[in-house]
Amino acid sequence: MTYLLGVLIFVIALLVSISLHEAGHLVTAKAFGMRATKFFIGFGNTVWSFRRGETEYGIKALPLGGFVDITGMSNLDDVDPADELRTFRSKPAWQRSIVLLAGSFMHFIIGLVLIFAVTAGLGEQNTNVISLDVCVPAKATQITCPKSAQRSPALLAGIKSGDRITAVDGHAVSGWTQLTAQISKHKAHTPVTFTIMRNGRQLTKQVTLAKVTWRKGGFLGVEPMEFVRESLPTAFSSTGSQFASTVTSSVEGLAKLPSAIPKLFSSKRATDGGGVTSVVGVSEATGQVVSASGVTWQEKVAFVVLVVASVNIFVGLFNLLPFLPLDGGKLAITIFEGVRSFFARLRKRPDPGPIDMQKLIPLSVGFLFVFISLGVLLIAADIINPIQV
């Protein structure tokens, strides 16, 4: 039941994100006097709708996205001459650009707000108070431990959940980042001395680190336990850093996508495949974490919220790729038309007008074919060879 709840939470969050994406287009279009006739979530047959002014709002049968119907999005649209002055294509390039950017902008705002909510509300797990890993995981994403799994070095050494590790081989550590940095400096199968505070008493434990294939350095078997609330200035700074880090990892994920495709059905997909997954895979991971035992409610909430934030940032960036029918493709055309018109004015020549969209239809169809094929392949991989979180 809790697994289905996790999946449902992610699906609802995704639909809300889509709604806000389309709302960004709608609000900016109306602000510039463009005629918007439809605002729908989903595709296919209409399930429910209502009309306010000239715009019909509603829900379609297939919740696979959403759309805003703005009159005259291209020169291929047949428009009543009386409405021409309110078409998208009749507006200045800067106004069209803002409308096109509004969707991705909303995704970025959602990502920032969610990251800040976790940082300022729950806090960060950047602390040296630890919880215990029972076993040495076979992969980075493993949560549960099979009976045959090797016991973790921390468990074998008598380290307990709630202990505060204050030093590693004499090097003082005051947070999770420092602790993991010190541990990673030591190779597997080497003894390391840990200084621990437990119930006000200082203890010393010598631990022989284990070997894992998915990370450099030895493995101890501890996780951060506490969420530490930060001051608002620190929370704002941390939110900016995490947002920038998520943008970087999203760009890297897009770059790794071609090389990850051959590894989607391999046994080492989670590591060799770069963790590339579809919406099905992300919802599956959300369900796994929400239903997992031995995970605190703070960790579950933080995971779900940060996953939704990451997905929004990724979608916002992907939507800006210069390919039709993405907003980035339409934006590239708008910028090209604006630059071309600018140079025509400088040379005192007639405005060349809009690009002939019919010539771009094959490119648009080609991108859609690749995009849909890749989506089907990722979904198949998530069903047949899912990434275990």
| CA 35 to centroid of chain Cα atoms | 32
Q: Considering the chain, what percentage of its residues have pLDDT values greater than 70?
A: 93
Helix or strand (DSSP H, E) at 336: helix 327-346
The Cα 182–Cα 186 span in angstroms is 7
Whole-number mean pLDDT of the chain? 85
pLDDT for the residue 41: 92
Is residue 270 a contact partner of residue 387, using CB atoms and an 8 Å limit?
yes
Nearest to 165 by CA among 209, 204, 219: 204
Q: How would residue 99 be classed by pLDDT, with cut points 50, 70 and 90?
A: very high
Which runs of consecutive H residues, i.e. helices, occur in 190-326?
A: 232-260, 269-272, 279-291, 297-318
Reduced to 3 states (helix: H, G, I; strand: E, B; else coil), residue 107 is helix
pLDDT for the residue 154: 92
Beta bridge partners of 172: 167
pLDDT for the residue 100: 96
pLDDT for the residue 272: 56
Nearest to 281 by CA among 143, 192, 387: 387
Q: How would residue 173 be classed by pLDDT, with cut points 50, 70 and 90?
A: confident
- pLDDT tens, position by position, 202-211: 999 999 999 8
pLDDT for the residue 354: 81
* Residue labelled with tokens 């990850």: 260
| CA 70 to centroid of chain Cα atoms | 28
Is residue 140 a contact partner of residue 271, using CB atoms and an 8 Å limit?
yes
DSSP string across 244-255? HHHHHHHHHHHH
CATH code of domain 130-224: 2.30.42.10
- pLDDT tens, position by position, 216-263: 788 998 888 767 777 788 788 888 888 988 898 888 888 878 877 887
Beta bridge partners of 262: none
Task: Count the Cβ atoms, other than its own, within 10 Å of residue 269.
Answer: 22
Query: Residue 307: what residue type?
Result: V
Least confident range from 150-164, 264-278, 373-387: namely: 264-278
- Higher pLDDT: 198 or 2? It is 198
The Cα 134–Cα 153 span in angstroms is 9
Domain parsing of the chain, residue ranges = 92-124+232-389, 130-224
pLDDT for the residue 141: 59
* pLDDT above 70 (res 2): no
